[in-house]
């Protein structure tokens, strides 16, 4: 059975156990995870697939995502809410980890730079009032990179590059300082959805605690729109020079995940190997 078929089967099995019909199921996305619309039930499943190649226990990031989305929804933030038709998770079925989300109507609109910057500012107004979980700052990107530095040979990355990545991490860590708060973790424009009532942030799986600069670096680094213009719509946003260590961390993190995703989805054209080599030599 294929990876996608196993993901769909797990999502349908858990949904059926909670009394939901899923006769018109369809796959919305197959990337680091598989996202499944469980129609006619108004529920979408996120199913861990490639995520487990880097993260040893995917129940941890899936659980963090559900917890943060639940808190943000209760606080009135514009995020995709967890499902209210069955426990959102984390669930496990035959070794497959998954969570469940309320289906939202998504329009084809794409955000402008100003839309993205203002939406992130609005989200951080709410995040600033949430208690930061007792987790090490930026553990999501830093742990991902450390894991890849130790195991990147599985994707054919040369040992000298992996050693260079480990050294780069050692140099970066003491520069990534600032006030600790809950973060989205991956707020690029592709995770900002146009809904009938406005923009909604989704995909909180990379959430961690840390300085707000990490979220700003994620938005600044996007190639989907003018990232600097987006940051200029965020009140008090730092300059690119001030963001430099977080931008470097973002380049490394994106390149590493590009390598992992390229192995299964070369059609995406992420070119992770070349991006990683360029970042390490830049």
Class (C level, CATH) for 113-281? alpha beta
Q: What is the mean pLDDT of the chain?
A: 95
Q: What is the average per-residue pLDDT within 56-80?
A: 97
Report the share of the chain in percent with pLDDT over 90: 91
Q: Is the fold of 3-102 the same as that of 113-281?
A: no
pLDDT at 44: 98
In tens, the pLDDT along 34-55 reads 999 999 999 999 999 999 999 9
Pull the structure tokens for residue 74: 């209760």
Class (C level, CATH) for 3-102? alpha beta
Q: What is the average per-residue pLDDT within 142-154?
A: 96
More confident residue, 267 or 156: 156
Q: What is the average per-residue pLDDT within 106-128?
A: 97
In the chain, the largest separation of any two C-alpha atoms, in whole Å, equals 54
Name the pLDDT band for 270 (thresholds 50, 70, 90): low
Where along the chain do its domains lie?
3-102, 113-281
This prediction's pTM:
0.95
In tens, the pLDDT along 189-208 reads 999 999 999 999 999 999 99
pLDDT at 1: 60
């Amino acid at each position: 059975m294929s990876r996608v078929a196993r993901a769909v089967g797990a999502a349908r099995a858990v949904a059926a156990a909670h009394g939901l019909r899923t006769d018109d199921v369809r796959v919305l996305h197959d990337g680091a995870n598989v996202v499944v619309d469980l129609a006619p039930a108004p529920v979408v499943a996120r199913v861990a697939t490639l995520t487990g190649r880097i993260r040893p226990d995917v129940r941890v990031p899936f659980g963090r995502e559900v917890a943060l989305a639940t808190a943000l929804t209760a606080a009135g933030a514009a995020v995709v809410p967890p499902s209210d038709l069955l426990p959102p998770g984390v669930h496990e079925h035959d070794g497959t980890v998954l969570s469940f989300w309320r289906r939202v109507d998504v329009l084809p609109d794409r955000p402008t730079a100003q839309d993205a910057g203002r939406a992130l500012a609005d989200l951080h107004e709410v995040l600033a009032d949430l208690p930061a979980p007792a987790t090490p700052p930026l553990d999501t990107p830093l742990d991902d990179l450390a894991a890849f530095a130790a195991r990147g040979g599985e994707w054919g990355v040369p040992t000298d590059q992996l050693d260079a990545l480990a050294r780069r991490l050692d140099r970066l860590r003491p520069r990534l300082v600032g006030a600790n708060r809950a973060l989205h973790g991956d707020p690029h424009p592709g995770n900002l959805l146009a809904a009938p009532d406005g923009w909604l942030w989704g995909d909180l799986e990379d959430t961690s605690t840390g300085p707000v600069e990490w979220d700003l670096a994620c938005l600044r680094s996007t190639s989907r729109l003018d990232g600097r213009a987006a940051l200029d719509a965020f009140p008090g946003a730092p300059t690119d020079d001030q963001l430099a260590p977080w931008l470097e961390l973002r380049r490394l993190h994106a390149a590493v995940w590009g390598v992992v995703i390229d192995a299964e989805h070369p059609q995406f054209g992420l070119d992770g190997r070349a991006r990683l080599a360029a970042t390490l030599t830049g």
